[in-house]
Amino acid sequence: MPGDASSPRRARAGLSDQTQRRIGNHLRAMYDAVLQQPVPDRFSDLIARLDTSEPDKA
């Protein structure tokens, strides 16, 4: 039966292997582009402040 979830070409979530590969490739490309962006100065400053602060004594 076409579109049957038990078909070997369909994954558990109902997406074909080809569709899952295409989604994975697009996500990898998107994350790679994000990783190439510089870290904003405000984040670097926050990380530096957190690194030098004393831990809370709870």
Structural domain boundaries in the chain: 17-51
In this structure, what token pair is assigned to residue 30? 């998107």
- Report pTM: 0.47
Residue with tokens 């984040």: 43
**So what's the pLDDT on residue 1?**
46
Between 5 and 29, where is the model more confident? 29
For the segment 41-45, the average pLDDT, to the nearest whole number, is 94
In this structure, what token pair is assigned to residue 24? 């994975």
For residue 10, the cross-strand partners are 16
Nearest to 20 by CA among 10, 30, 34: 10
